[in-house]
Amino acid sequence: MYIGIDVGGTFTDAVLLDNDGVRATAKVATRDDLLSSLLDVLDKVMDNISGHKIKRVVLSTTMITNLILENKYDPVGLILIPGPGVSHNNFMYNADTKIISGAIDYRGREIAPLKKNEIAEVANDLAEKKYKKAAVIGKFSPRNKSHEVEVAKILEEFYPGWNIELGHRVTGQLNYPRRIISTMLTCASKEKYKYFINSVLNALEKRDIDASVFMLKADGGTVPIKNSADGPVETIFSGPAASTVGVQALTSAGETEVVVDIGGTTTDLALILNGQPLISSQGASIKNYITHVRTLSVRSVAVGGDSKIECSGEQIVVCPRREGQPYCLGGPSPTPTDALRFLGLTELGDKSKAEKAMEMIGGITGRSSEEAAEKVKDLVVDTITREIQDMFYKWEQEPAYRVWEVLQRSKEKPNIVIGVGGGAAGFIKQIAFRLDASPLIPQYAPVANAIGAAVSMPILQVTLRADTEQGYYSIEEEGLQYKIKDQKFSEGEAVDLACEFLDKKANANSFNMGQNEIEVIRRETFNMVRGFVTTGKIYDICVQTPRKLLGRFGEKGGGK
């Protein structure tokens, strides 16, 4: 048996699967005491089934996404070592940013030393401003980490209690601005993410579940949850990935559809083309930040069933934040969920409290309760529809989308809108109508995220970096370096070599995979030029096993 759990900002969902399909589902409120929510949802979904029968547990969460969208992450001091070149004004972020001397070139050679006194001044300044977290990022630290390590050592000497994150540990890719953002968000969220992991492991132990436990990443693959502790940023779009994979599992194979997952805190958007989720050609983008996180092409919109409603005169505004549960569930103020409950579009909560919530809105804005509820519903539909239309423009720029258009032999948009999540029943028909598309709410839509988590399989990855001039290559995941034997070592040979390492890794982990299934997700070449002569090349290759589903439960799917 397998369990999938999705921890959202409002609800925690779970599903229990066996070889015949979905055996049980459960939904409970996500409380501040996360452990109690996890124990509650496990008890409901297992229903007297022994924990020893559970072989695999996979989790997804919107926790990191919500922290960022709601600006609830911890403040981080940025210490940057950009070296010469681009103006330092380009490295000013929405954080206390300190730029220090020192430089490593693209080959990994030191061309300017650090200044210890300068680092001490920066540390003291951040300490005076009450910072206890710092992210240190050098421009070419993936080529040589020594400057980052030295800065961290000095910071720890002065302030041993600080949480310090280094750019080269977060990602080995060279795009400097994205590495800065990835490192900053990792530093800001790691403490809260470790609390999440500890709560999960504690809950499973209390229910005697000794199973393999995985975390769903933004690209729809999974990683052992303990291994994910150092990379919470990889879960930025774990929730949207779960809903996308869930829709993939709940609809017919080969479908093309827009995914709209309306939760309590956010609405997540994604696209499935011919049965496969669209992968972003860039890193995960959130609040105008672009990271190095490989992700499905998704977007989280800060509006959901629990968004706060504010009134000013006759104006009603659905705010991009929440202040607890809907009024009909005992919360402090009216929300879109109260509007849906009043209109009979959901059975969630106390109807009389929803009526009172809409009376409050109507009384302030000069509307009847029904007019107020309809207006709130329309505002949410308008917001989500605009975001989908904007996403279509971005989706159309993706290489995979362009290939899909060529195969269609006509320029057209997907015309099916799949609604999942707690708010789908109340909003999806109107959203589809605005988009001139057909709405569909599949079976198990309220727990689609948990199903997506449950059916997601692990992904293995190998990153190879080769320097033909220096005559070596390294495998990042192993931390080992090898000699290049062929003096004419080419990019193709680098890819083949990376695939060989991945194949060995897959065999060691009992993966059934053919060589033609390996995905090359990054291949970059840098020429080494001296005296106008190319003296060598640097190859940066990343390959991974393909993303697969444990089972399908759609119209043409059965169980596992």
Inter-helix orientation angle 369-395/424-434, to 10°: 60
What are 417's two structure tokens? 């809108």
- 560's CB contacts (< 8 A; 6+ apart) are 17, 18, 19, 20, 21, 550, 551
User: How confident is the prediction for the chain on average, in pLDDT?
Assistant: 88
The amino acid at residue 280 is: S
- 390's CB contacts (< 8 A; 6+ apart) are none
Reported as a pLDDT band with limits 50, 70 and 90, residue 514 is: low
- In this predicted model, which residue has the larger pLDDT, 505 or 447? 447
**Residue 403 bridge partners (DSSP):** none
Q: What's the confidence (pLDDT) of residue 281? A: 81
The amino acid at residue 138 is: G
The percentage of the chain sitting over the pLDDT mark of 90, rounded to a whole number, equals: 48
Q: What gap in Å lies between CA 377 and CA 548, rounded to an integer?
A: 37
Residue pair 475/464 in contact by the 8 Å Cβ criterion: yes
Give the angle subtended at the CA of 302 by the CAs of 91 and 347, to the nearest 5°: 165
Reported as a pLDDT band with limits 50, 70 and 90, residue 425 is: confident
Q: What gap in Å lies between CA 118 and CA 141, rounded to an integer?
A: 19
Residue pair 269/304 in contact by the 8 Å Cβ criterion: no
Q: What's the confidence (pLDDT) of residue 290? A: 85
Mean pLDDT of 299-316: 88
For 252-290, how does the pLDDT look when each residue is reduced to its tens digit (9 = 90+)? Answer: 888 889 999 998 888 999 999 888 898 888 888 777 778
Number of helices (H) and strands (E), helices first, in the chain?
A: 14, 27
Q: What's the confidence (pLDDT) of residue 125? A: 94
Whole-angstrom Cα Rg for the chain: 25
What are φ and ψ of residue 528, in 5° steps? -95, 115
Its sign, for the CA torsion 147, 148, 153, 156, is: positive
Mean pLDDT of 223-241: 88
- 511's CB contacts (< 8 A; 6+ apart) are 460, 545
Q: What's the confidence (pLDDT) of residue 558? A: 43
Mean pLDDT of 393-405: 82
Residue pair 338/358 in contact by the 8 Å Cβ criterion: yes
Residue 559 has pLDDT above 60, yes or no: no
Residue pair 220/297 in contact by the 8 Å Cβ criterion: no
Mean pLDDT of 85-89: 77
Residue 172 has pLDDT above 70, yes or no: yes
What are 240's two structure tokens? 């949207």
For 532-550, how does the pLDDT look when each residue is reduced to its tens digit (9 = 90+)? Answer: 777 788 888 989 888 788 8
Residue 402 has pLDDT above 70, yes or no: yes
Q: What's the confidence (pLDDT) of residue 233? A: 87
From 519, 511, 524, 543, select the one nearest 466 (Cα to Cα). 524
Q: How many CB atoms lie within 10 A of CB 301?
A: 20
Residue pair 25/454 in contact by the 8 Å Cβ criterion: no
Q: Enumerate domains of the chain plus CATH numbers.
A: 2-65+206-241 (3.30.420.40), 77-192 (3.40.50), 307-379 (no CATH), 461-544 (no CATH)
- In this predicted model, which residue has the larger pLDDT, 292 or 373? 373
What are φ and ψ of residue 67, in 5° steps? -60, -45
- 460's CB contacts (< 8 A; 6+ apart) are 502, 505, 506, 509, 511, 544, 545
- 539's CB contacts (< 8 A; 6+ apart) are 464, 465, 466, 468, 473, 491, 494, 523, 524, 525
Q: What gap in Å lies between CA 220 and CA 227, rounded to an integer?
A: 16
Q: What's the confidence (pLDDT) of residue 409? A: 67
For 277, counting Cβ atoms within 10 Å of its Cβ (0-12 exposed, 13-18 middle, 19+ buried), the class is buried
Q: What gap in Å lies between CA 116 and CA 5, rounded to an integer?
A: 47
From 502, 275, 232, select the one nearest 404 (Cα to Cα). 275
Q: What's the confidence (pLDDT) of residue 284? A: 82
Q: What gap in Å lies between CA 240 and CA 219, rounded to an integer?
A: 10
Q: What's the confidence (pLDDT) of residue 143? A: 80
- In this predicted model, which residue has the larger pLDDT, 496 or 530? 496
Reported as a pLDDT band with limits 50, 70 and 90, residue 513 is: low
For 450-504, how does the pLDDT look when each residue is reduced to its tens digit (9 = 90+)? Answer: 999 999 988 888 889 888 888 888 887 776 788 988 878 899 999 999 998 888 8
pTM for this one? Answer: 0.84
Q: What's the confidence (pLDDT) of residue 512? A: 67
Residue pair 24/54 in contact by the 8 Å Cβ criterion: no
For 338-383, how does the pLDDT look when each residue is reduced to its tens digit (9 = 90+)? Answer: 999 999 988 888 999 999 999 999 999 999 999 999 999 999 999 9
Distances (CA, A) of 205 to 53, 225, 307, 493: 14, 14, 34, 46
Q: What's the confidence (pLDDT) of residue 556? A: 40
- In this predicted model, which residue has the larger pLDDT, 513 or 323? 323
Q: What's the confidence (pLDDT) of residue 410? A: 66
Distances (CA, A) of 14 to 24, 28, 58: 8, 9, 10
From 263, 308, 340, 270, select the one nearest 6 (Cα to Cα). 263
Reported as a pLDDT band with limits 50, 70 and 90, residue 150 is: very high
Q: What's the confidence (pLDDT) of residue 554? A: 59
Q: What gap in Å lies between CA 532 and CA 471, rounded to an integer?
A: 20
Its sign, for the CA torsion 500, 501, 505, 506, is: negative
What are 463's two structure tokens? 């990153």
Residue pair 203/211 in contact by the 8 Å Cβ criterion: no
